[in-house]
Chain A
Amino acid sequence: MDVGLSHYLTLSAVFLALGVFTILSRRNAIVILMGVELVLNAAALNFVAFGKYVATGIAGQMMAIFVIVIAAAEAAVALAIILSVFRNFNTVQVDRVDRLRN
């Protein structure tokens, strides 16, 4: 069986769906962060796929590398925030961090 663009896109869509579902359904900040990583990687996979099958040049691959770099930076910052939240609230459950509400 030939692997074509649609396969990549389908896999990417599955990743996106899983990531979004994880973000929406979980309360744990770390798990949500993992969902975000899934969404980012779905987007990166799309860039690569479109770079290989549709565009000429290496713009798609370059964009994927940017995404990976930014995701790494984002993860570092987000984990630092989560660590800080844990220190202050003694929890990483996002629905319990509601001091600014009301």
Chain B
Amino acid sequence: MDPLMTSAIAILLLPLLSYVLLFFFGEKLPRRGDWLGIGILGVTWVLALRIFAHFWTHDTPIEQSWTWVEVGRFQVDFGILLDGMSAVMLVVVTTVSLLVHLFSSGYMWGDRRYSRYFAFLGWFTFSMLGIVLSNSVFFLYVFWELVGIASYVLIGFFFHKNSAADANKKAFLVNRVGDFGFFLGILIFFTAVGEFQYGPLFAGVEQGMIGGSLWTWAGILLFFGCVGKSAQVPLHVWLPDAMEGPTPVSALIHAATMVAAGVYMTARLFPLFSPDALLFIAYTGAITAIFAATIAIVQTDIKRGLAYSTISQLGYMVMAVGVGGVMSGMFHLTTHAFFKACLFLASGAVIHAMHHEQDMRQMGGLRHKMPITFAAFLACTIAISGVPPFSGFWSKDAILGAALAFGMTDGHYLPFIFALLAAAITAFYMFRIVFLTFLGEPRNQEKYDHAHEVGWRMATPLVVLGTLAVIGGGIPMLGMGWFDKFVQDPGVEHGATVHATLPAFVDVAHAAPQHEGDDQQTESHGGDQGHGTSADVPESMHPVDPHNVDDAHGDAAAGDHGGGHDVHHTAHNRAMIMSIFAAGLGILLAWLTYGRKSISSAGALAAFPGVHKWLSNKYFVDEFYNGTLVHQTLNATRFAAAFDKHVIDGIVNGVGAAGKAAGKLGGLTDEWFVDGLVNAVGDLLRNIGNWLSTWQTGRVQNYFLGLVGGLVVLILVVRAGWLS
């Protein structure tokens, strides 16, 4: 087996091992096992780096499958696919997870269920790594649900609080809605193509085994899974509530494990989406980006502000995939993982220091007390706002460029406009958080006096992630655009392959000889199909204009080569200028409002009372759901409960009472009639017997008297002639 494949299996299984060990033996370990979880994640991280380093210089995917279940002609394989995209995700997930483990050992120290917490972290990481490594939609879905249940137990980790118990229920149920669509989508594609594995599945779609509106709808259903997991409008409502979980868990959910899954899935399954479905995805993402960004402006809870920021940034990524910018979407996912994990951990540090105060109006001036946290938070804020040369700038610029190019070629400018507006708002509300939390004067002197800088366990992750947030987008010495070594936009040929989206063709062509040696471990069916297509597909891909987004969308009216190239360059140049301008505007406004206070925030509120009402109530989405779905569901359940209680129970009780009455009647009949009859017969016989026994005196003379009497009577009868 390929040593990298061995590493990949180890990467997948080690966090599971951590979970099992900590779950069963955690309480018995010294320090209750946090070193075990951190250590195992450290090993996993090193292995992930090894794979990452391999794909820095190589771009040939490595794939291997094992038969998992085989029933007649139906076969499901478990397989691992390693390529640039999964290599990046491995590093992102393990890095963030390792740092969150480390941070948690400070943040959660002293919790009653400390070792159980680390066990769940391992499980969460394992599930997410399964999503990343899986090479079939079937196992993608399996791990997808594992992520769902892991998030459930972690969001509800403080389940003794009602709000946490409600939040994890909400997260789980809202995700179920999306997962249902996802599952339907998988089933439609499986019905049409008959394959779960990416390679044959993509090839089947490529050959037109599914088409028309069914293709579009199947894609949109698949995307529902992303809408749920990545908290897109309208299923975003669970994410802010998920802040009830421990803050390091929020960091993990927001950066690496859960919400990233949706974007990763959309990017990974990109060839499955029809042009119309992609347009739907692009608009959903764009609307989510602006929608959540506006809500974030008025949040007073530091974690909730960051939560809406995450939703907004996820909207960016989803929109990027929708407009064909898979690379930019994944790029932003990576950089966002670093700075958002850092922001959350930093906010966790603040909350920890402020003795679980989360309201920003009680903070202020914390830069003096917590310089390391402040530095990390500020670096990440600059990164997320899109100020060059911080990491967020590069990824956001890539997305805006892709969106603008999409607008210029397809005429849909709305996603770009929304994204640009959201960029400005992002800069504004993030700096608002910085101003309110760290700058200015302390607003609650008592809490401020108790605040303190965090220990090394919590500071180290902040420093590491803060550094990554600064340099993660591109390191000048290594060249700015490192990311497209790993992930390329579909249709854009890099070298001779299109492996980013069509990994299996390349893989089968490359690895076929070694697969023939061990048929046990390879799916012969998929292999055959791969052989058939591996020759055709690269050819069929050649006529595709390498730089034209139109073709990625299947638009018939493709522009000429030179024109498409120009559009991209023009779009990127313009988008870069506009995004810098938008970020600057947002920061300036934030400074004027919360720094210099030349714009009164209270005055702004007074000027637009309606706007503030809508924003602070999050556009009444929760109220809408409560009023419609939740309320009606509860009514229906109450009705069902009442029906159960009165009608069903009534029937059951009635039947019971009738049975009881019948039994009583039967008992009485038995007692009085049957027994009476039996007793009567018995009594009669006994009485007769008693009477007869008086005749049996034992005196022969009595009998003889009877005998003589009888004889006399007989003689008389005969004499009288009565018998004749």
Contacts and interface: CB of A to CB of B under 8 A. Distances in A.
A100 B708 contact: no
Interface in B678-721: 698-701, 704-705, 708
B704 A23 contact: yes
A20 B709 CA distance: 11
B189 to A, nearest CB: 101
A94 B704 contact: no
A94 B708 contact: no
A95 B708 contact: no
Contacts of A101: 698
A22 B554 CA distance: 141
B699 A24 contact: no
Contacts of B701: 23-24, 32, 94
Interface string A34-57: 000000000000000000000000
Contacts of B699: 94-95
A41 to B, nearest CB: 18
B708 A20 contact: yes
Interface in A43-102: 94-95, 98, 100-101
Interface in B140-182: none
Contacts of B700: 94
Contact of B704 (A24, A95, A98, A100): A24
Nearest to B696: A101
Give the size range of B's interface with the partner. under 10
A14 to B, nearest CB: 15
Nearest to A102: B698
A5 to B, nearest CB: 19
Contacts of A100: 698
A24 B705 contact: yes
A24 B708 CA distance: 10
A98 B697 CA distance: 10
Contacts of A32: 701
Interface string A10-35: 00000000001001100000001000
Interface residues of A, number: 9
B698 to A, nearest CB: 5
Contacts of A98: 698
Contacts of B705: 24
A66 to B, nearest CB: 23
Contacts of A24: 701, 704-705, 708
A52 to B, nearest CB: 24
Nearest to A98: B698
Contacts of B708: 20, 24
A29 B246 CA distance: 119
A94 B703 CA distance: 14
Contacts of A94: 699-701
Interface in B40-91: none
A62 B428 CA distance: 156
Nearest to A23: B704
Nearest to B711: A20
B632 to A, nearest CB: 89
A95 B698 CA distance: 9
A100 B701 CA distance: 16
B710 to A, nearest CB: 13
A20 B704 CA distance: 9
Nearest to A25: B701
A13 to B, nearest CB: 11
A4 B309 CA distance: 154
A24 B699 CA distance: 10
A101 B705 CA distance: 19
A24 B701 CA distance: 6
A94 B708 CA distance: 19
B150 to A, nearest CB: 92
A101 B702 CA distance: 14
Interface in B12-50: none
A98 B174 CA distance: 102
A96 to B, nearest CB: 11
A23 B704 CA distance: 8
B714 to A, nearest CB: 15
A24 B706 CA distance: 10
A23 B706 CA distance: 13
Nearest to B697: A101
Nearest to B705: A24
B268 to A, nearest CB: 107
Looking at A24, A94, A98, which has the most chain B CB atoms within 10 Å of its CB? A24
Contacts of B698: 98, 100-101
A42 B708 CA distance: 15
A40 to B, nearest CB: 15
A15 to B, nearest CB: 15
Contacts of B704: 23-24
B225 to A, nearest CB: 99
B695 to A, nearest CB: 13
A25 to B, nearest CB: 9
A101 B701 CA distance: 15
A12 B470 CA distance: 156
B688 to A, nearest CB: 20
A35 to B, nearest CB: 10
A32 B698 CA distance: 16
A12 B699 CA distance: 27
A13 B700 CA distance: 22
Nearest to B702: A24
A22 B700 CA distance: 13
A89 to B, nearest CB: 14
Contacts of A23: 701, 704
A39 to B, nearest CB: 10
Nearest to B708: A20
A20 B706 CA distance: 12
A94 B701 CA distance: 9
Interface in B545-572: none
A20 to B, nearest CB: 6
Nearest to A21: B708
A98 B700 CA distance: 11
Interface string B512-535: 000000000000000000000000
Given A24-B701, A24-B704, A24-B705, 4 more contacts: A20-B708, A24-B708, A94-B700, A101-B698
6 contacts: A23-B704, A24-B704, A32-B701, A94-B701, A95-B699, A98-B698
Interface of A: 20, 23-24, 32, 94-95, 98, 100-101
9 closest pairs, A vs B, by CB?
A101-B698, A24-B705, A20-B708, A24-B701, A23-B704, A98-B698, A95-B699, A24-B704, A23-B701
